[in-house]
Amino acid sequence: MIARMWRGRVPTSKAKAYREFTNGRAIPDYQSVKGNLSVYVLERREDDVTHFITLTFWENLEAIKGFAGQDVNVAKYYPEDKDFLLEFEPTVVHYEVAGKS
């Protein structure tokens, strides 16, 4: 199993709208891909900026390619992200899941 982690920051004034966008658009997109096992979105407010981490779990790298394309390290963005994000990190991080409870 592979964990894929993406980080983004939005102005806190837009955090609620970004959360709604993520729940309505991004999470269903992840879940529609064969081999996606689960999706978690973490949120932490820090004054005027709210941090989001999208943590997804996949059967293998081939499944991630079905979502992200051939270069699985490149971050995937939606057109709506330009209305929220303070910057666009070019890459994501992958971890092999070494244990599970």
Return the half-sphere exposure (C-beta side, CA atoms, 13 A cut-off) of residue 17: 11
Residue 71 phi/psi, 5-degree rounding, is -90, 95
Q: In which band, very low, low, confident or very high, does the pLDDT at 101 lie, cut at 50, 70 and 90?
A: confident
Q: What is the pLDDT of residue 100?
A: 79
- For 22-69, how does the pLDDT look when each residue is reduced to its tens digit (9 = 90+)? 999 999 999 999 999 999 999 999 999 999 999 999 999 999 999 999
- Are the CB atoms for 43 and 19 separated by under 8 Å? yes
The SS3 of residue 63 is: helix
Which domains are delineated in the chain? 2-96 (3.30.70.100)
Output 21-30 pairs: Cβ under 8 A, ≥24 positions apart: 21/80, 21/84, 22/52, 22/54, 25/78, 25/80, 26/54, 26/78, 29/67, 29/78, 30/54, 30/56, 30/67
Average per-residue pLDDT for the chain: 96
Reported as type and span, the H/E element at residue 66 is helix 61-68
